[in-house]
């Protein structure tokens, strides 16, 4: 098995597409403006992994099930993205209008400094920077 991507179901596809493409800076591999592209669907990449955006009602219709609730619980899943400098990245994302959930915080037990934000549909995103070994050692 090989992990491929995460599919995010969205109720506001255009806002989510702009967020992941323009604010988060992911590369569009295939989108609505690509040759053969379709409205309400995009595949973006971040390193070796992908984030697929799809209108929630289109996905539900394809499965023949009711459309899921419009706002996901921000704690059902978290997309975790490593960055070089969590403080600088957090400040940049918030300055672009990203909704903040938790400002940068040291988490010694996780060996990381993290910050949490959401995309326009409420999907939780954690950005983090690894803490140096000295920062994760409990004080005596």
User: Based on the number of CB atoms within 10 Å of its own CB, is 49 exposed (0-12), middle (13-18) or buried (19 or more)?
Assistant: middle
pLDDT of residue 93: 98
Amino acid 140: pLDDT = 43
| pLDDT for the residue numbered 77 | 85
Residues of the chain short of pLDDT 50, as ranges, are 140
First to last CA, the chain: 43
pLDDT confidence of residue 76: 76
* Among 20, 13, 61, CA closest to 40: 13
Closest listed residue to residue 41, CA positions, set 33, 53, 50: 53
For 94-110, the pLDDT digits (tens) are 999 999 999 999 999 99
């Amino acid at each position: 098995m090989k992990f491929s991507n995460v599919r995010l179901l969205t109720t506001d596809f255009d806002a989510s597409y702009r967020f992941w493409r323009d604010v988060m800076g992911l590369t569009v591999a295939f989108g609505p403006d690509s040759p053969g592209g379709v409205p309400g669907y995009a595949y973006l990449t971040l390193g070796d992994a992908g984030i697929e955006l799809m209108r929630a009602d289109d996905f539900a219709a394809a499965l023949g099930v009711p459309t899921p609730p419009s706002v996901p619980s921000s704690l059902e899943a978290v997309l975790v993205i490593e960055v070089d400098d969590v403080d600088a990245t957090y400040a940049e994302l918030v300055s672009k209008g990203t909704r903040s959930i938790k400002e940068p915080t040291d988490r010694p037990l996780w060996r990381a400094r993290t910050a949490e934000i959401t995309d326009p549909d409420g999907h939780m995103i954690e950005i983090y920077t690894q803490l140096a070994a000295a920062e994760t050692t409990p004080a005596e």
